[in-house]
Amino acid sequence: MEIFVELSIIIGIAVLIAGIMRLLKQPLIIGYILTGIIVSPYFLNIVSSTETIVVFSQIGVALLLFIVGISLSPRVIKEVGKVSLVTGIGQIIFTSLIGFFISRLLGFSILVSLYIAIALTFSSTIIIMKLLSDKKDLDKLYGKISIGFLLVQDIFAIILLMIISSFSSRLKLSGISLQSFIIGAIFIGGFILISIYILPKLSTFFAKSQEFLFLFSIGWGMGLAALFHYIGFSMEIGALVAGITLSMSPYHYEISSKLRPLRDFFVILFFILLGSQMVFGNISQFIIPAVIFSLFILIGNPLIVMILMGMLGYKKKTGFQAGFTVAQISEFSLILIALGVTVGHLTNEILSLITIVGLITIAGSTYLILYSNKIYPHLAKYLSIFERKKVKEIEKEFKGYGVILFGYNRIGYDLLKSFKKLKKKVLVVDYNPETIVELYKKGIECRYGDVDDEEFLSELNLTKTKMIVSTIPEFETNLLLINKIRQMNKKAIIIVVSHNIEETGLLYGKGATYVIMPHFLGGSHASMMINKHGLNLNGFLKEKKKHIKQLKTKKRLGHEHPKAEKHR
């Protein structure tokens, strides 16, 4: 009963602190760590049932990594793309090298410096996904690239945790057990084969009952975690492998969504335990290192990403926004350091140091990401050094065009086919260099540019353009585009995209000729087919064949339909 009362008090304090974090627009993870500090022996000294909370926190970490593993589908990895792979690997290499150099200058040993340097490379996928979702930026170019290189970081973290888990407190860095690696590789290979050939066939049986699917998921994850612990690896690695083996299941989204509430509860206890274990006795000697590491993460990491993306031909604004997504350390960083303490490589003082860096960088990067659009105009002129003057030398001298399409994506692909019937010169504008290269190879007139850049819009000869179409869903971008066009051309047909009824009304009021609302068009199209074919089965079967052919073409081109929850 004592542990129940203790947990009740701790959760109550966590609710209060988390509420304050919400008001400050901060991730709740900060509130959890602060709760741990408050209930620690240095303040309220509430935590007495440490062993029970440790077990709960281990379950939380296992569930966290299990769900991360579920998202690491080979299909997703294939879609990461060149820029995410290059940026992700480049950021890991440069951040770890510079971090190691800084650690050594600050007087840390080689082993401690290695841990710190690697911990500084990880960025929080969970926090970034939440912030990008709140900003509705998951579908933006920088959002997609960020998700891609965060995925690369997660894969690197998996490999690293496997290496660390093969250590024991009696082994040094050179004492990795080859036998453990071989056994681990055999187990992982075996379970991957099971996930490919056996689990998919059983998925339908599991999914017949929601309760059974939930129970099976927990049993599979915890069972593999326990098995890996038994053969000498950490249970966290087992949980990751368990998640990866379920990532190919057609029900992996449902499994992930059902386990999240359970994961959130136990992960809360992990971060509370982390805060309660912080050592403040000699913390004064770590204040300067904490500030230096935090500044490196908040400033150095974004600079590394901007340099790499600039070299790949991306606009400075895209690199700037993507850079802020790596301006914090992650839960993986804290798990890595905690694991280092467990195997005897690190002390609690180092754990306290990295936790402080985590608090500073997570808080700072949250504001940087949320207000990046307001910060950018003040720094734009200084960021030109990160932007290449030409993109793969495929831009041509600009001429006048009858139709201009801003944004070649799912909608733009279909519109481009219709434009050819107008017998007018068509120009496609996009700010993804890879898209521009693709269009150039197809012989389509294209220009690399950012619609949010007023100087770029001024360069376009819009005075004689008959039609301008924007497939970009951002309200502010379309508003800027409409205002700029109407200043130069009162008679142009302006078509834009919106996912919000109120914003659609405002766009019409500012001069849009027509606003495409994709969610409503689906119902209109179905209604037109019913009016056309009535109850004629053959008519609908013809539409079906045509639709399947279109979907195959779009899949081949890499087009995907956005998830329903992204737009209201």
Examine residue 428 and state whether it is found in any structural domain, yes or no.
Answer: yes
Q: Does one domain contain both 210 and 148? A: yes
Show which of 384, 415, 430 is a domain's final residue.
384
Taking only Cα atoms into account, the Rg of the chain, rounded to an integer number of angstroms, comes to 26
Q: Report how many domains make up the chain.
A: 2
Query: For the domain that residue 293 is a member of, what is the CATH number?
Result: 1.20.1530.20
Bridge partners for 469 per DSSP: 405, 495
Q: Does one domain contain both 345 and 407? A: no
Q: Looking at residue 114, what is its pLDDT? A: 92
E-assigned strand segments in 387-425: 403-406
| Residue-wise pLDDT tens digits, 277-305 | 666 666 677 789 999 999 999 999 999 99
Show which of 329, 349, 384 is a domain's final residue.
384
Show which of 351, 384, 417 is a domain's final residue.
384
Residue 46 near residue 39 (C-beta atoms within 8 A): yes
Ranges under pLDDT 50 in the chain: 168-176, 391-398, 563-568
Q: Does one domain contain both 238 and 367? A: yes
Residue type, 91: Q
Examine residue 393 and state whether it is found in any structural domain, yes or no.
Answer: no
Q: Does one domain contain both 225 and 314? A: yes
Distance CA 380, CA 20 (A): 33
H or E stretch at 467: strand 467-470
What distance lies between CA 64 and its chain's CA centroid?
A: 15
Bridge partners for 404 per DSSP: 427, 468
Q: Does one domain contain both 209 and 152? A: yes
Q: Does one domain contain both 242 and 299? A: yes
Q: Looking at residue 104, what is its pLDDT? A: 93
Examine residue 160 and state whether it is found in any structural domain, yes or no.
Answer: yes
Q: Does one domain contain both 126 and 92? A: yes
Q: Looking at residue 16, what is its pLDDT? A: 93
Q: Looking at residue 87, what is its pLDDT? A: 86
Q: Does one domain contain both 344 and 476? A: no
Residue type, 340: G
Examine residue 244 and state whether it is found in any structural domain, yes or no.
Answer: yes
Examine residue 392 and state whether it is found in any structural domain, yes or no.
Answer: no
Query: For the domain that residue 562 is a member of, what is the CATH number?
Result: 3.40.50.720
Q: Does one domain contain both 427 and 290? A: no
Residue 468 near residue 457 (C-beta atoms within 8 A): no
Residue type, 148: G
Examine residue 176 and state whether it is found in any structural domain, yes or no.
Answer: yes
Examine residue 421 and state whether it is found in any structural domain, yes or no.
Answer: yes
Q: Does one domain contain both 475 and 375? A: no
Distance CA 526, CA 549 (A): 18
Residue 302 near residue 92 (C-beta atoms within 8 A): no
Distance CA 219, CA 259 (A): 12
Distance CA 195, CA 374 (A): 46
Q: Which residue range(s) make up the domain with 463?
A: 403-566
Q: Looking at residue 109, what is its pLDDT? A: 92
Closest listed residue to residue 340, CA positions, set 326, 359, 360, 354: 354
Examine residue 394 and state whether it is found in any structural domain, yes or no.
Answer: no
Q: Does one domain contain both 121 and 265? A: yes
Q: Does one domain contain both 219 and 366? A: yes
